[in-house]
Amino acid sequence: MTELKRLGALAELEPHGQFSKWIEGHDILVYRLDGEIKAISNICRHFGGPIGYHKMKDGVFTCLWHCYRFSAKDGACLTNPKLGSRPYKVEVRDGAIWVQLAEEPAASQSHQSHLGPGGP
Amino acid sequence: MAVLFSRCEKEMDCSKEVVIWNYFDHEHVVGTHYKYYNKFNIVAEKDDWTLVERFYQLPIIGLKTSSYGFMFLENPNLIRSIQFGKLLVMDQLIHLTDLGPDRCLVATEYRLNVPFFMKPLEGLWKKMTERWFINTWDEDAPMRLRRQKVWNLGFRDFVGIDYVNQKKPQPADLPSRRPYPVQLPVPKTKGRKDGEYERPFATSVEVGYPKPEQA
């Protein structure tokens, strides 16, 4: 389960330099920053909104629902530092974008997050 | 006095509890509805009632105005919102009906109390409220569907989804749905100035919600 999954064609980055897509229960935001392709979770850990709904501006994504702001550099949440968005490993090959959904083996849903609650 | 009346309804692929969350999640007004609302204040809020001040632009006539709205959950199937405008008072009833698992009917009645000589404006009132209902519905619907989806994937407020955070695959034993309890008031973001919320930008390039998973 730690293998790379094909998320989409490289061309899907156009015309906005970003796109988001669901794959196997993960909503992933892929974007180009300073010539590098990056990916973070598109699910805002506040209430679940889409981080990449608006086009990135000045290196920052603003979630549609409640305007939580995220650094495109590393997914850090600028509104609440405890709610950073998880980065995904990305590879580009054969004209496609591949992401690694899992770096750890599967677990039961009852396990607690190591990231912990961020609080309001 | 006379009453201008209109009724709008639509079905929704989410539980009625998600719709209640959406109505009581005031912070999304300047986010999700950033094209219509400029700013708002939460004046007071406790349990299942709230008093908010909203600044917005009315459809069709384009009037920029504001109102104080007292909204409360009258029962699990009815939200009532009384809007006190500059001169007029509107009584809004939002009826919620379960239509099955993760499906409900939302029926909204708008009653505007006016002097009797304004009764001929009821046709305009129906057009304005229908436009408002459809415009806000078009923005709220994907929000509600997404909220239901992430909830069913195990989302917790201010945490996220455990398997995403833990860099693990989606568990094979994840139930297809989970009950959605109504918990009011909806938690607010700390640190925003005096409870006042403003639209964060004048314009935006909308890339949109994520593309669905390919079959």
Under an 8 A CB cutoff, do B161 and A20 touch? Answer: no
Q: What is the pLDDT of residue B57?
A: 86
Option in B28, B162, B205 nearest A109 (CB): B162
Q: How confident is the model at residue A111 (pLDDT cuts 50, 70, 90)?
A: very low
Q: In this model, does residue B130 exceed pLDDT 80?
A: yes
Domain membership of residue B187 (yes or no) is no
Shortest distance between the Cα of A89 and any Cα of chain B, in A, equals: 10
The residue type of A111 is: H
Under an 8 A CB cutoff, do A114 and B147 touch? Answer: no
Q: What is the pLDDT of residue B193?
A: 66
Q: Which of B102, B74, B72, B75 is nearest to B180 (CA)?
A: B102
Under an 8 A CB cutoff, do B27 and A66 touch? Answer: yes
Give the integer Cα–Cα distance in Å for A1 and A67.
Answer: 33
- B184 DSSP assignment: S
Scanning every residue of chain B, which has its alpha carbon at the shortest distance from the alpha carbon of A46?
B158
Residue A98 near residue A5, CB atoms below 8 Å: yes
Q: What is the pLDDT of residue B215?
A: 56
Q: In this model, does residue A113 exceed pLDDT 60?
A: no
H or E element, residue B144: helix B122-152
Q: How confident is the model at residue A110 (pLDDT cuts 50, 70, 90)?
A: very low
Q: How confident is the model at residue A117 (pLDDT cuts 50, 70, 90)?
A: very low
Residue with tokens 């938690």: B187
Q: How confident is the model at residue B194 (pLDDT cuts 50, 70, 90)?
A: low
Domain of residue B140 covers: 2-178
> Cis peptide leading into A120, omega within 30 of 0?
no
With H, G, I as helix, E, B as strand and everything else as coil, classify residue A29: strand
DSSP B77-116: TEEEEEEE-SS-EEEEEEEEEEEETTEEEEEEEEEEEE-G
Give the integer Cα–Cα distance in Å for B90 and B67.
Answer: 10
Q: Which of B72, B182, B189, B5 is nearest to A66 (CA)?
A: B189
Q: What is the pLDDT of residue A59?
A: 97
Domain A4-100 fold is: Rieske Iron-sulfur Protein (2.102.10)
Tens-place pLDDT, residues B157-188 = 999 999 999 999 999 999 888 999 999 999 98
Count of CB contacts below 8 A, A vs B? 163
Average pLDDT for chain B:
92
Identify the CATH number of the domain in which residue B119 sits.
Answer: 3.30.530.20
Domain membership of residue B193 (yes or no) is no
A97 in contact with chain B, both atoms CB, cutoff 8 A: no
At residue A41, φ and ψ (nearest 5 deg) are: -65, 135
ipTM of the complex: 0.91
The set of residues, in sequence order, having a beta carbon less than 8 Å from that of B25 and lying 6+ positions away, is: A47, B186
CB atoms within 10 A of CB A19: 22
Tens-place pLDDT, residues B70-116 = 999 999 999 999 999 988 999 999 999 999 989 999 999 999 999 99
The alpha carbon dihedral of B129, B182, B45, B192 has a sign of negative
Beta-carbon-side half-sphere exposure of residue B49 (alpha carbons within 13 Å): 5
Q: How confident is the model at residue A1 (pLDDT cuts 50, 70, 90)?
A: low
Domain membership of residue B135 (yes or no) is yes
Domain membership of residue B215 (yes or no) is no
Domain membership of residue B192 (yes or no) is no
With H, G, I as helix, E, B as strand and everything else as coil, classify residue B171: coil
User: Among residues of chain B, what percentage have pLDDT more than 70?
Assistant: 97
Tens-place pLDDT, residues B17-41 = 999 999 999 989 888 988 788 788 9
Domain membership of residue B45 (yes or no) is yes
Each domain of chain A, given as residue ranges in start order, spans: 4-100
Q: How many domains does chain B have?
A: 1
User: In this predicted model, which residue has the larger pLDDT, A110 or B4?
Assistant: B4
Tens-place pLDDT, residues A30-87 = 999 999 999 999 999 999 999 999 999 999 999 999 999 999 999 999 999 999 999 9
Give the integer Cα–Cα distance in Å for B88 and B123.
Answer: 17
